[in-house]
Structure 1
Amino acid sequence: MAGIYIHFPFCKKACTYCNFHFSTSLNYQKTMVESMLKEIDLRKSYLGEELIDSIYFGGGSPSLLSAKLIGEFILKIKKIFNVSETVEITLEMNPDDSSTDYLLELKENKVNRLSLGVQSFFDDDLKLINRIHSANDAIESLNKIKDTFNNFSIDLIYGLPYSDIQKWEYNLKTALKFEPPHISSYALTVENKTVLKKQVDNGNILLIDESLVEEQYFYMIDLLEKKNYDNYEFSNFAFPKKHSVNNNGYWKGNPYLGIGPSAHSFNGKNKRSWNLKNNKLYIKSIKENKLLFDEEKLSLKDRFNEIVMTGLRTSSGISLKTIREKIGDRYADFLEKTSEKRVISNDLYWDADSLHVSKKSKFISDGIASDLFLINL
């Protein structure tokens, strides 16, 4: 199984926390789309005969694209690649883009899943992080999406400045009113080279204490588990059979192809690459039939550390069998030995041959994973 990710690098407005590659200058969208469609042709051999089970439109704000153009991408991918008849086709959407006509047109063009970037149902939060939509826009959008799509996800952010458990409870319970099959929720992260980073460094915005962020996280887990959501990955919750195919592919180490400036690709074995982060140079290179990207070759140590990091974030855990088959016996033996202390402290536990993070230690799972990383062997 493999996935294809389409990175559309344009937004109407820059969110303060975002460090993804995008531009708020919308002047050359048409040329960009033409270049991205051509890149699909240039990369047609990358995935070989792998069966494509996910096509994902991200960004940026891909809901700026017309449904017709999105349909063109889908048709081209289906023409060139080996696409599953049950392929999951996801579009990231902003609430202000979700007119009823647009939603119906997306369905006609074979989009079958939406991921709505709500982030918060409070206008003061949305203004603080410079989102373009209002809380009412989000409510109206969800009403329309629920009437049109049976598979959709809501994105929320916890740990926002000045937030408390009451606001977070309201956000979650408001989202739950729409019975979303999937919820993705991420802690606010202060990334370098973002407006938020400058605001925090200058003292214009005060972050809440880490203990309050942790309280919000565990409140979310408890509430969503009671509502029968499976916390199948640290930040992702879904009803049975509604796990994101795109997300699961990343965590399982499946190959994927990224199209568009800054998009990442992985051959499923030992090579990872990422396209140039410059819209104009990307367009120029594609016009000249050139692919400009950086590439790294992953060592066995790199692959082991990635499996540890991604595995501990998922409900599937880290499989010793997978490590033995993909990397080697001594790496599996190393994991068994280095995990002993964390198992004794009840941060980790074994279920058959799979290593899992205990519920009480989920919030520090990345730190636990780093303790298990291989430096030398």
Structure 2
Amino acid sequence: MAGIYIHIPFCKQACHYCDFHFSTNTERKAEMVEAIILELSIQKNYLEGKINTIYFGGGTPSLLSAEELSKLLDTIFKNFSVSENAEITLEANPDDLNAKKLQMLKSSGINRLSIGIQSFHEPHLKFLNRAHTASEASSCVQQAQDAGFDNISIDLIYAIPSEDHMIWEKDLEQAVSLHPQHISSYCLTIEDKTVFGNWLKKGRLKEIGENYSAEQFEMLLQTLQTYGYQQYEISNFCLPDYHSRHNSNYWCRDQYLGVGPGAHSYDGHHRQYNISNNSLYLKSMEKKQIPFEKEVLSPQDQINEYIMTGLRTQWGCDLQKIAQEYHYDLWKENKIYLEGLLRDQKVILQDQHLILTNKGKLLADRIASDLFIVT
């Protein structure tokens, strides 16, 4: 499968934890849409075969008007061969969604919403500097369902500093009561170039304890499993047959094209990184030149990427695939280490697939890095 990602680099305000590329100045939004349309046209031969997924991310793509969304989708359908049942996702903030906007999104061809709720607790939303209220967090999902959306994902953040786990427990209860088809949940991380990163340096914020975040992760697993959600990737859960096809492309290392400032692309052998600067991107696109850097992936890079992404999924790392495609015996090269993980019940070996257990998922990044080829 192949996918297209459109990065919309604008937000109403900056969340204190976010280190994605965006600008709160939306004066050049219309100009940016035209530049992205041009980039799509220039890149029409980047991907092979059918386009199965289209994903509007950001930033905040729900800031786009109906006309802007239609222009972008029309350009994609004009320049690429898109599957009839393509998954078309739009990331949205609760404060951007109302009955009129939802009907517009539905009529435009959007068939999946990814709503950035993060928390249903008002003080936590203010702490994160989210633009929506707790009331909007709940009502927007119900309104989307009333508008006919039957493939809805919501985002939640855990390990937000609190005296105990009561708020997180209530967030989970509220989330499952809304019956979304998909839930993505991420641990709050403190990145350097964010407000929280600055607070940490100044002593206004403390590091989040590993035990605290691990306990909330375990609560997440237990609650969602109880309500029938499958954990198909460490941070992603779905009801049967509702996994994110677009994000699964990334984890399965299928081809995808990323357009817009800060977007990434992958053709199976190379990665491209568009410049993360709105002004420079627009200036370059005026000359019909896409401003990107290109990285050629060595066999070692491809193996390491497969290990990193494969271990995060329910399908795990296919040892035979690594052997056949990359001529590398992952088990043989790490036999003692992997046998130790098996004994400690951090991984299982099933049909030549190395799969993390719940215990191992708490250490996913560490296990992956331990298995990387290092020269």
Structure 1 residue ranges without an equivalent (≥5): none
Measure the CA separation in 2 of the matches of 1:312 and 1:299: 20
Structure 2 residue ranges without an equivalent (≥5): none
Measure the CA separation in 2 of the matches of 1:326 and 1:82: 28
- Hey, which bits of structure 1, 4+ residues long, moved more than 3 A? 329-333, 335-338
Query: Are 1:44 and 2:47 counterparts?
Result: no
How does the TM-score come out when normalised to structure 1? Answer: 0.96
Q: What amino acid does structure 1 have at the position aligned with 2:236? A: N
Partner of 2:217: 217
Measure the CA separation in 1 of the matches of 2:51 and 2:278: 27
Deviations along 1:13-45, one digit per CA (max 9) or x if unpaired, are 000110000000111111111101111011111
The alignment covers a number of residue pairs equal to 374
Partner of 1:203: 203
Percent identical pairs in the alignment equals 44
Q: What amino acid does structure 2 have at the position aligned with 1:165? A: H
Measure the CA separation in 2 of the matches of 1:164 and 1:308: 35
Q: Is contact 1:162-1:206 (8 Å) kept?
A: no
Partner of 1:129: 128
Tell which deviates more after alignment, 69-78 or 170-179.
Answer: 69-78
Deviations along 1:33-61, one digit per CA (max 9) or x if unpaired, are 110111101111111x3221110000000
User: What RMSD in Å do the two structures reach over aligned CA positions?
Assistant: 1.3
Q: Is contact 1:161-1:205 (8 Å) kept?
A: no
Partner of 1:12: 12
User: How big is the shift at 1:338?
Assistant: 4.7
User: How big is the shift at 1:151?
Assistant: 0.3
User: How big is the shift at 1:165?
Assistant: 1.4
Measure the CA separation in 2 of the matches of 1:281 and 1:339: 47
Partner of 1:80: 79
Measure the CA separation in 1 of the matches of 2:76 and 2:335: 42
Q: Is contact 2:33-2:72 (8 Å) kept?
A: no
Query: Are 1:352 and 2:351 counterparts?
Result: yes
Measure the CA separation in 1 of the matches of 2:189 and 2:288: 37
Partner of 1:140: 139
Measure the CA separation in 2 of the matches of 1:296 and 1:204: 39
Query: Are 1:67 and 2:63 counterparts?
Result: no
Measure the CA separation in 1 of the matches of 2:206 and 2:194: 15
User: How big is the shift at 1:72?
Assistant: 1.7
Measure the CA separation in 2 of the matches of 1:349 and 1:221: 18
Tell which deviates more after alignment, 158-167 or 182-191.
Answer: 158-167
Measure the CA separation in 2 of the matches of 1:99 and 1:207: 37
Partner of 1:177: 177
Distance verdict in 2 for CA 1:159–1:35, change over 3 Å: same
Distance verdict in 2 for CA 1:276–1:208, change over 3 Å: closer
Partner of 2:35: 35
Deviations along 1:42-91, one digit per CA (max 9) or x if unpaired, are 111111x3221110000000000012311221121111112111100000
Q: What amino acid does structure 2 have at the position aligned with 1:69? A: E
Distance verdict in 2 for CA 1:115–1:60, change over 3 Å: same
Q: What amino acid does structure 1 have at the position aligned with 2:327? A: G
User: How big is the shift at 1:320?
Assistant: 1.4
User: How big is the shift at 1:344?
Assistant: 2.5
Query: Are 1:91 and 2:87 counterparts?
Result: no
Q: Is contact 1:160-1:207 (8 Å) kept?
A: no
Please state whether the residue corresponding to 2:294 is helix, strand or coil.
Answer: strand
Q: Is contact 2:260-2:274 (8 Å) kept?
A: yes
Query: Are 1:239 and 2:239 counterparts?
Result: yes
Q: What amino acid does structure 2 have at the position aligned with 1:65? A: L
Measure the CA separation in 1 of the matches of 2:322 and 2:208: 39
Measure the CA separation in 1 of the matches of 2:345 and 2:85: 40
Please state whether the residue corresponding to 1:339 is helix, strand or coil.
Answer: helix
User: How big is the shift at 1:224?
Assistant: 0.5
Q: Is contact 1:323-1:332 (8 Å) kept?
A: no
Partner of 1:191: 191
Measure the CA separation in 2 of the matches of 1:371 and 1:184: 26
User: How big is the shift at 1:225?
Assistant: 0.6
Distance verdict in 2 for CA 1:42–1:179, change over 3 Å: same
User: How big is the shift at 1:138?
Assistant: 0.9
Partner of 1:166: 166
User: How big is the shift at 1:342?
Assistant: 1.6
Q: Is contact 1:161-1:207 (8 Å) kept?
A: no
Q: Is contact 2:8-2:61 (8 Å) kept?
A: yes
Measure the CA separation in 2 of the matches of 1:52 and 1:63: 22
Q: Is contact 2:319-2:329 (8 Å) kept?
A: no
Tell which deviates more after alignment, 75-84 or 236-245.
Answer: 75-84
Query: Are 1:114 and 2:113 counterparts?
Result: yes
Query: Are 1:303 and 2:321 counterparts?
Result: no
Distance verdict in 2 for CA 1:163–1:4, change over 3 Å: farther
Distance verdict in 2 for CA 1:167–1:351, change over 3 Å: same
Q: Is contact 2:331-2:338 (8 Å) kept?
A: no
Please state whether the residue corresponding to 1:132 is helix, strand or coil.
Answer: coil
How does the TM-score come out when normalised to structure 2? Answer: 0.97
Partner of 1:58: 57
Please state whether the residue corresponding to 2:19 is helix, strand or coil.
Answer: coil
User: How big is the shift at 1:324?
Assistant: 2.4
Measure the CA separation in 2 of the matches of 1:239 and 1:42: 38
